[in-house]
Structure 1
Amino acid sequence: MSKLKARFSSIAARLLLASAVLLPLFLGLTGFFLDRAFENSLNVAETSRLRGHINLLFSVAEPEVRNNRFDSLRMPVTLSEADFEHPNSGLYGYIFNGQEKLVWHSNSAALRDPPPYNRVVTKDSPGQLVFSEQRLDKNLHFVASYAVNWEDASGKPTPFYFVVIHGATEFKAELKAYRNELWRWLGAAGIFLLIAQTMILRWGLRPLGKLAVALKKMQSGDTSNIAGEHPRELQKIVDNLNQVLEREQALRQRYRNSLADLAHSLKTPLAVLQSRLGQGAESDGELQQIASEQVARMNQVVTYQLQRAVSSQQHGSFRRTRIEPIAQRLFAALQKVYAHKKMKQSLALAPNSIVAGDEQDVMELLGNLLENAFKYGHQEVRMSSSLTDNQLCIEIEDDGPGVPEDQTERILERGQRLDTNQPGQGIGLAVAAEIIRSYDGDIRISRSELGGARFSIFLPTPASPD
């Protein structure tokens, strides 16, 4: 039962089963109607033939008067129809008078007993040709009878009945031959149509096999989506599947990026803790304060990155974030991490340096850029801001080696680094660029007056001042 169920779970098997059931039914009905039509045509032809024979007998008959009585007809010795002359030819002619007496029969009926009068003569229809089928001598015959009232010289009518009988042997033989040919050809047509249907199904369902191969390649990792051209009916499905796959890949990539960003973002607070623990704090209270601040910072980072991982876009554009407190916190933390460099830091922010963005986004953005400046700067890091065209321009500069002009685009890509001697994964600048793009901002890289790199960030300001 399970094998049968599995077999008919196939589309091709179902269609073939439907064809195998419906096709014989259709061909059977077709054969039935064709058989009926042919049999009717044979009956019409037989009726027409018998009418011609009746007309022939009627046309050659002449009245015969005996003893002043008109009770018989005179017929020619031979007739033009040859079957009326050959004994037992299957075509027989008879004439009866009103006294139910046989007054003439054709030479073909000389060796046969005349048919029963009551079975072949119809008295109620004078002047009309009546057709019927009768079993005479246990065989089927076609019978045509014609009743006529023949008037004598005095105008007295005398009834005569012309009867023509034709055996149905040829009729049945012809009908049988037709039926044999009909069902033979219909059977051959049915087999041919089933074979053609099988081939059409294989050809028509071939795109599904092609789609299965494409899915298998994608599953094995050979391709990232369903490639190739497909029929119009399947192309919409393929396009929708590719969209789902692209979204799933983008989501997976966003998870990877978020994990990488999380690890990158935790480096700074961990470095602060490691630096203070390595140098030794002046008191347990100071160490506890530093640890508490950095643990809180790490908790914020984890929460922020988890939110980014499950969200397709940033939603902080309706918030207002001040730059100065964030910058001061970052400078203080980085000064501890890079205390051995004794960096000179400069913070010159314009009044009301506020952006329309989420605080965690701004923290992540400035933290990555400032850490990059502290890492590659030699002695000085500078941060400033200015308002222009409803945007806040933030500039972060250092006196490090700078960024070559032909590399300013490449270093904003994830995983790209210019100095491989310094530790890092090439993530910080890419994360900063992603955050800036999410707020429809802009970032530009140029040469600073300090000799190193200048990162100019343009972010939207709130619609109304704080």
Structure 2
Amino acid sequence: MTRSSLRLRLLGGAAVAIFLALALAGIGISWLFHQHVQRREAADLAKLAEQVVAGLTLDNTNKPVIDPLPSDPNFQSIASGLYWQAITPGGTAQSPSLWDQSLPGSPSEKHVWSSSTVPGPFDEQLTMVSRRIQPDVHSTQVVVRVAKDNDEIREAFREFDQELALSLGLLWLVLSLAAYAQVSLGLRPLHRLRHELDRLRRSPSARLSDRHPQEILPLTRAINALADARETDLARARRRAADLAHSLKTPLAVLSAQSRRANDAGGVVAAAGIDRAIDAMGAALEAELARARAAAARGSVGESAPGEIVDGLLAVIERTEVGEDTAFSVEVDPAIRTPINGTDLAEMLGALIENAVRHARRQVRISSLGEAETLTLRVEDDGPGMNEEAIAKATQRGVRIDESGAGHGLGLAIVRDLAEATEIEFLLGRSSLGGLLAELRWHPQDQAR
């Protein structure tokens, strides 16, 4: 996957969105937990403070007296972390745990219990509740404070935040995997669409199916409409090319007749020049007709038996003048089948065999080779063949073989165009007979996709 991958963009966006959502949720949960614990702690301290208030009286000097004392033993141990204190203008009463220290004042001391976090004695951080108490209508107000060291609370907060972060991290991983499964499932129709587009590329007559989600159907219909227009344009262009080629055959036949008359009248040189021009134009027309057939072959489907096709071709070629003097060796398995229309295969094999016969000294061999993943048809001759430079140029995609000067022009040009149209691998090389080796290869698994 690259940075332009839709899958990567969706997964990256989902991962970032999930992370941000969980981060905000973690902050909120942590804040709510802290607030809850602090409220519970303040409520527990308020209950202890009520024990102090329950025993609160004032002596003659308005000094507070607590009797009985709160029952929690931590109030009796110096610097235990739990303290109480009652303050009036006449004096102060406090827990032994404070020793010679005192609790700090709070600006929020009212007639209801209020809580705050304050720095306390013995370098401690305290959670403290305080309130102004008036024992009776005519007595002095008493400030009652109860505080507790909040080290345990801070430690609980730290442990909770760590466990929360770990839990949210695992949840992020699980949700990211779920997002990956969701994205993969959501993009699966595009995977099927890609295969259908590949079939459309192979066959202009194919169309995308309607078995797609509603969101993709407008796209598939637009592509089908474009394919319809393309097929119509291609058919029109092929018809015009074929009509043009066929319409030129009559003028060429007339020119050929005029050449013969000129030759009979003694214009041998002029007639020879006209014949060469006619031959060149005829070759060009045959090439264009072959390309028109190749264009029509793109999208043709079917299956053929190469053994039967070879036998039919040899029955005709052996009756020709050059075919009578050629020894043919056929080693084609009659059981094999090729995934190509029989007419197209006959066109290619016929051109290859005619090319081999034209350049062979004595022998032409046609054979087949079937392997697990490859099917190969070979046509070989014992002629001069082609050098490596000519083979490299002839097998390069897009090169006009009929203009390469290799001496094997039009026949191989027809085969190459048909092979490219039907997506067959076309290879040239040196035969063990000494001449040219031409191979047609099919990869059924690739074509099945």
Please report the TM-score for the alignment, with normalisation by the length of structure 2. 0.50
Q: Based on CA coordinates, which of the two structures has the bigger radius of gyration?
A: 1
Please report the TM-score for the alignment, with normalisation by the length of structure 1. 0.48
